[in-house]
Amino acid sequence: MTPIQPLSEAAFALTLALFLLAPLAIAGVALINAGLGRSRSAAQSLLGSLAILAVAAIVFALAGATFVGTAGAAGHAFQVAGKSWSWLGAGPWLLGGLGAASPQAQLELLFEFLAVALAAILPWGSGADRCRLIAGCALAALFAAFVFPLTAHWIWGGGWLAQLGVNFQLGAGFLDGGGAATVNVLGGLGALALVWIAGPRRGKFPKEGLSTALPGHNAVYVLFGCLLALVGWLAWNLAGAIVFLHAPLGALPGTAVNTLLSAAAAVLATFAVTQIRFGKPDASLCANGWMAGLVASSACAGLVTPLAAIFTGLVAGIVTPLLVELFELALSIDDPSGAIAVHGAGGLWGLLAAGLFAPQSGQLVAQLLGIATLLGLVLPLLYLLLWLLNRVLPFRVDPDGERIGMDLHELGGGAYPEFVIHRDESYR
């Protein structure tokens, strides 16, 4: 375990300010999700994001916060091979003692509130245009009560992945300053499980012929959301560097520059890839590439050089549009927001890049062990839990609801009642 530096008052104050900016990541993602969906589902998409944020916050306060724990605090551990493996935190219930906790623990808790909400909003974007509000809320409760606390304890809360450094001299243990794993990979894998279970939108993969393009209904929301997300991700990465990587203030400008460079390299790479692939750059995929660059930076911005950050972004920007196409065409996965590629794969790549470029010896092995855990343990767990949940609370609306749109079906009214919308042949 990295020895925890006492936080200066200025670092504490800065992290509080960063906490306030982090919801802009949520606002940006919520706007991107709405813009990438259909106009007939826009209000339901955004109301779902608000509700998911709300459910996640309440359930995390009442239950999940207890299980995350903080490095050095008591936890549930077992002994294997003479080492202690902590698998679940054991904090106070109902946020008891929040005011008396150490500044470090207070700030960890603050960011976990937003982390679990953002993680739960990611699958919601992938289930757009067909999943019910109640499904989003139930998934948020599941994330906040159990899945996120478990993962976050392992990684952020002094659990066994964080202990890989102390226990096995694997670098500084599994490192994830900005939530690449705890937020983005978790959300991306949740998205994968959700769309596997819920299936594609009606008309997306017709019996004969190619898949139907269902372009997002508002590119301005999507691209403007990317700019807001930049602010949110910068806040997240800087705060994570302070709280989870114990970085001194003087290291933060470098973290900020790396975050920006990773997103910049990624969007330009996607621009080039889609230009080559389709003859024109694709605005939605460029937005996906930009976001993947931000996501990848969440693992490594605090650990690497600017050139490595540019390289990380370039790879994220090249891989993302190819993965989106692969998922859609080869695997018949219908992911309107692209969260599986952007947040799932982008996060995994960032975690790997952190291992490749971080100076500590053994860090790459620690990162690979963490990635294996996410894919081999967390993904099956998520699939199982969501499969069970879907039996109790079916995720999907009935076909008629999907045809008229989620807004009319679930809310009784559309997002844009005064605007004339094109009649949609694909749903006839």
Site for its own copies in 193-232 (CB under 8 A): 215, 217-221, 223-224, 226-228, 230-231
| Structure tokens given for 334 | 């219908």
Q: Give least dist CB 262 to its own copies, A.
A: 10
Q: Is 73 in the site for its own copies (CB under 8 A)?
A: no
Please report, as residue ranges, which positions from 39 to 68 form the binding site for its own copies (by CB under 8 A).
39, 42-44, 46-47, 49-51, 53-55, 57-58, 61
Q: Which of 424, 427, 395, 398 is nearest to 138 (CA)?
A: 395
Are the beta carbons of 350 and 160 closer than 8 angstroms?
no
Q: How many CB atoms lie within 10 A of CB 244?
A: 25
Please report, as residue ranges, which positions from 309 to 328 form the binding site for its own copies (by CB under 8 A).
310
Are the beta carbons of 75 and 89 closer than 8 angstroms?
yes
Q: Which is nearer to its own copies, 166 or 251 (by Cβ)?
A: 251
Q: Which is nearer to its own copies, 282 or 328 (by Cβ)?
A: 282
What number of CA atoms fall less than 13 Å from residue 253's CA on the CB side? Answer: 1
Q: Give least dist CB 359 to its own copies, A.
A: 12
User: Residue ranges of the alpha helices (H) in 244-362?
Assistant: 252-278, 283-300, 306-325, 339, 346-357
CA distances from 89 to 84, 92, 337 (A): 13, 10, 33
DSSP state of 71: T
Q: Is 4 in the site for its own copies (CB under 8 A)?
A: no
Contact region with its own copies (CB under 8 A), list: 145-153, 163-171, 179-187, 251-259 = 251-259
Please report, as residue ranges, which positions from 18 to 37 form the binding site for its own copies (by CB under 8 A).
18-21, 23-24, 26-27, 30-31, 34
Are the beta carbons of 333 and 282 closer than 8 angstroms?
no
Please report, as residue ranges, which positions from 278 to 307 form the binding site for its own copies (by CB under 8 A).
278-283, 286-287, 290, 306-307
Q: Which is nearer to its own copies, 209 or 412 (by Cβ)?
A: 412
The C-alpha R_g of the chain, in whole angstroms, comes to 21
Q: Which is nearer to its own copies, 51 or 365 (by Cβ)?
A: 51
Residue 77: strand, helix, or coil: strand
Please report, as residue ranges, which positions from 131 to 160 form the binding site for its own copies (by CB under 8 A).
133
Please report, as residue ranges, which positions from 346 to 405 form the binding site for its own copies (by CB under 8 A).
none
Q: How many CB atoms lie within 10 A of CB 126?
A: 29
Strand partners, 61: none
Of the candidate residues 16, 63, 166, 322, the single one contacting its own copies (CB under 8 A): 16
Contact region with its own copies (CB under 8 A), list: 176-184, 265-273, 334-342, 384-392 = 265-273
